[in-house]
């Protein structure tokens, strides 16, 4: 699993159960002993000595081991990022398995961990759950909002068969209305906005075009004649110039219209986060490329209409369905429906199109900041 005995097997100022719980053979140690209840607050991630900004989660190993022991009840408190496949080290297969487990009877989910642990903030919030061996049905799910509001509802944890849990219960009715209009758009990439969004490293490869890559020139020349958007702080213009041989991927889109959108952003500001990528331009791995598709080239007008759609609160609310941290790959756009991009879009048009109630509109307007 990657956990080492020195770090998780005891010692001064360390808990001593983690390593043996994951690795020991309980049948060999205890024979046919039955466990009634397993309660835990397991280690959340591997210690990496500070070398990584996103350590690998290991709490899934504790849940797996607990399920193997087949107790009557399991209750644990763990981070919530796994619910939307945003936890490093947690496989989508594992997430799907847990969401489809009808023995999870109760789950209490917190949007923010502030106030739950002294001096510790867990990105994406935390949850605790009760797994009941004899139960088979929907989960009594409660979502605790940052403002103190709590909403509870019996739900299937696998929201809309998407293999994620949409944690915010106020979102469910809005997505239901989008599905009523668009069908199961979220289950096929070609029917939602992720179709337009490129994988990471669209123009680069390996270390080429990483944010700190220095192979560009500050001034245009006959050789270095392709505009290169950096996305790094501290550069006077946010772009430099590269030559075609340095573009290792996506060469066929160099001279096409496109939109660049930062992979890591909260999208509260338009400037620098989302902008038109003119012909004869590429970007660093800081950005995802909208309009990368082989089977469709965007016009300049369509690009600006897409930017108008991204600027809406409706778009950004549905983006947050899967985007529990600032970083977002193309997968986080799964619940954003496609639109006709021959025209620009406003929130008012989208609210009307999907027949949202005033209560739903007020929720969106209050939750999502106006884009500056």
253 vs 332, higher pLDDT: 253
At 11 the pLDDT is 41
The length of the chain, given as a count of residues: 372
Half-sphere exposure of 162 (CA within 13 A, CB side): 27
- State the helix-helix crossing angle for 358-367 and 169-182, rounded to 10 degrees: 120
Q: 86-99, pLDDT tens digit by residue?
A: 777 889 999 999 99
Number of folded domains that form the chain: 2
pLDDT confidence of residue 7: 47
**3-state percent breakdown (helix, strand, coil) of the chain, nearest 5:** 30, 20, 50
For residue 372, what pLDDT band results from cuts at 50, 70 and 90?
A: confident
Centroid of chain to Cα 288: 14
Quote the pLDDT of residue 31: 55
Tokens 């639109």 belong to which residue? 339
pLDDT tier at 29, thresholds 50, 70, 90:
low
The verdict on 241 and 361 lying in the same domain is yes
Percent of the chain with pLDDT over 70: 84
Residue 298 gets which letter from DSSP? B
334-345, pLDDT tens digit by residue?
Answer: 999 999 999 999
144 shares its domain with 202: no
Q: What are the phi and psi torsion angles at 13 (to 5°)?
A: 60, 20
Is residue 127's pLDDT more than 90?
yes
How far apart, in whole angstroms, are the C-alpha atoms of residue 328 and residue 90? Answer: 16
Q: Are residues 113 and 54 in the same domain?
A: yes
Examine the domain organization and report whether 156 and 296 are in the same domain. no
Residue 23 maps to a domain:
yes
Domain annotation covers residue 343: yes
Residues 81 and 217 in one domain: no
Residues 299 and 226 in one domain: yes
The reply to whether 156 and 201 lie within a common domain is no
pLDDT in tens, 271-319: 678 999 999 999 999 999 999 988 889 999 999 999 999 999 999 999 9
Check pLDDT > 90 for residue 332.
no
pLDDT confidence band for 324 (50 / 70 / 90): low
Judge whether 172 lies within some domain: no
Kindly state whether residue 289 falls inside one of the protein's structural domains.
Answer: yes
Tell me if 290 is assigned to some domain. Answer: yes
Neighbouring-strand partners of residue 45: 57
- At 189 the pLDDT is 87
> Cβ atoms within 10 A of the Cβ of 13, count?
4
Q: Among 249, 170, 240, 142, which Cα is nearest to 204's?
A: 249
pLDDT beyond 90 at 265:
no
Q: Are residues 9 and 150 in the same domain?
A: yes
Q: Which domain holds residue 308?
A: 193-367
What is the mean predicted confidence (pLDDT) over 56-81?
A: 92
Say if residue 45's pLDDT is above 80.
Answer: no
Check residue 20 and give its pLDDT: 52
8 A C-beta contact, residue 94 and residue 101: no
Quick one: which of 112, 98, 239 has its CA closest to 164?
Answer: 98
Q: Is the pLDDT of residue 9 over 50?
A: no
The verdict on 145 and 250 lying in the same domain is: no
Q: Do 101 and 141 belong together in one domain?
A: yes
Residue 353 has pLDDT above 80, yes or no: yes
DSSP string, 208-228: BT-TT---SBSS--SSS-EEE
Which token pair is 169? Answer: 């219960």
Contact 57, 44 (CB under 8 A): yes
User: Across the chain, what does the average pLDDT equal?
Assistant: 87
CB 28: neighbour CB atoms within 10 A?
A: 7
């Amino acid at each position: 699993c990657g956990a080492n005995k020195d770090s998780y097997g005891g010692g001064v100022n360390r808990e001593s159960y983690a390593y043996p719980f994951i690795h020991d053979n309980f049948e060999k140690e205890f024979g046919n002993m039955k466990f009634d209840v397993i309660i835990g607050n397991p280690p959340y991630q591997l210690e990496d000595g500070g070398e990584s900004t996103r350590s690998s989660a290991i709490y899934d190993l504790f849940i797996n081991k607990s399920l193997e022991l087949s107790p009557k009840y399991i209750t644990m408190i763990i981070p919530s990022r796994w619910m939307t496949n945003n936890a490093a080290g947690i496989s989508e297969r594992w997430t799907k398995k847990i969401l489809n487990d009808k023995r999870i009877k109760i789950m209490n989910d917190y949007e923010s961990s502030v106030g739950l642990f002294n001096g510790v903030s867990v990105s994406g919030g935390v949850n605790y759950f009760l797994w009941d061996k004899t139960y088979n049905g929907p989960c009594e799910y409660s979502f605790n909002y940052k403002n103190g509001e709590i909403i509870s509802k019996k739900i299937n944890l696998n929201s809309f068969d998407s293999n994620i849990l949409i944690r915010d219960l106020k979102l469910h009715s809005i997505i239901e209305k989008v599905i009523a209009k668009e069908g199961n758009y979220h289950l096929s990439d070609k029917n939602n906005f992720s179709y337009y969004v490129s994988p990471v490293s669209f123009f680069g490869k390996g270390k080429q075009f990483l944010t700190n890559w220095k192979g560009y020139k500050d001034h245009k020349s006959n050789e270095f004649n392709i505009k290169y958007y950096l996305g790094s702080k501290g550069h006077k213009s946010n772009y430099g110039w590269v030559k075609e041989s340095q573009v290792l991927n996506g060469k066929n889109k160099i001279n096409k219209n496109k939109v660049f959108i930062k992979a890591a952003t909260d999208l509260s500001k338009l400037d620098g986060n989302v902008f038109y990528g003119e012909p004869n331009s590429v970007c660093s791995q800081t950005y995802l490329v909208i309009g990368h598709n082989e089977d469709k080239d965007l016009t300049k007008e369509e690009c600006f209409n897409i930017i108008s759609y991204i600027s809406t609160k409706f778009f950004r609310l549905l983006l947050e369905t899967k985007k529990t941290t600032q970083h977002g790959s193309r997968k986080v756009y799964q619940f954003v429906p496609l639109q006709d991009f021959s025209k620009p879009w406003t929130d008012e048009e989208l609210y009307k199109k999907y027949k949202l109630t005033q209560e739903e509109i007020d929720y969106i307007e209050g939750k999502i900041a106006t884009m500056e």
